[in-house]
Amino acid sequence: MLLLFYFYRTVATRTLLYIYLFTGIGVWIFAGYFMEARYSYHIGASGVLYGLISFIFWSGIFRRNIRSIVLALIMILMYSGMIVGLFPDAEGQISWQSHLIGGVIGLILAFQYREILEPDELQHFEKFQFEPEGEKQFFLERDTFEKTKSERDNGGFQDSDGWVRDDTF
């Protein structure tokens, strides 16, 4: 949770609230009614933990800036063993439904907030200080790449007898 509030300040409170709320509601609906898992216990905040880790990982994928990608790689290295908790176990002792719902909610929120950038993620481009203010001079004509080779060869590079000249040397 510390990573969430340190690196994603603008969306951290909303993300934590939504993960907490929708993971609980999702487990209640999914595990209670669709899976007929009325005899298993869904206690603890492991679904919220899976949601937070999923949000940080998928934010790195969706935002595509270097800081988020490094955080996603750290999440892979530290918590790669948690993938096993997303699937049912043989004994049925672990609330895998909570883990799965939390991971999906984290994925959805990371996709939803992918365009809300932090202030330090915004790139500030300043005008180059030595750039001239007037009309710019270009090395090639502006329509160079809009012409075919034959149009470029015939456009002003021929002598009066039809020979193509080259004055570059």
Residue 67 has what pLDDT?
83
Place of tokens 């209670």: 32
Residue 35 has what pLDDT?
64
The average pLDDT across 148-156 equals 67
Listed residue (12, 26, 24) closest to 109, CA to CA: 12
- Tell whether the model's pLDDT for residue 24 goes beyond 60: yes
The H or E element spanning position 94 is none
Q: Which burial class, exposed, middle or buried, applies to 139 when counting CB atoms under 10 A from its CB (0-12, 13-18, 19+)? A: exposed
| DSSP letter, residue 144 | G
Q: Where are the domains of the chain?
A: 2-112
Query: Which CA distances in Å does 165 have to 113, 151, 162?
Result: 59, 15, 9
**Band of the pLDDT at 162, cuts 50, 70, 90?**
low
Residue 164 has what pLDDT?
58
- Tell whether the model's pLDDT for residue 97 goes beyond 80: yes
pTM of the complete model beyond 0.85 = no
As a dihedral over the C-alpha atoms of residue 148, residue 151, residue 157, residue 158, rounded to 10 degrees, the angle is 130
Contacts of 32 (CB under 8 A, 6+ apart): 38
Q: Which burial class, exposed, middle or buried, applies to 20 when counting CB atoms under 10 A from its CB (0-12, 13-18, 19+)? A: middle
Query: Which CA distances in Å does 105 have to 16, 28, 51?
Result: 11, 14, 6
Contacts of 111 (CB under 8 A, 6+ apart): 58, 62
Percent of the chain topping pLDDT 90:
18
User: What phi and psi, each to the nearest 5 degrees, are found at residue 164?
Assistant: -80, 125
Rg (CA), the chain: 29
Percent of the chain topping pLDDT 70:
72
**Band of the pLDDT at 163, cuts 50, 70, 90?**
low
Residue 20 has what pLDDT?
93
List, for residues 103-127, the tens digit of each pLDDT value.
999 999 999 998 888 877 766 545 5
- Pick the more confident residue, 111 or 130: 111
List, for residues 49-68, the tens digit of each pLDDT value.
999 999 989 988 898 878 88
Place of tokens 């933990």: 49
- Pick the more confident residue, 79 or 152: 79
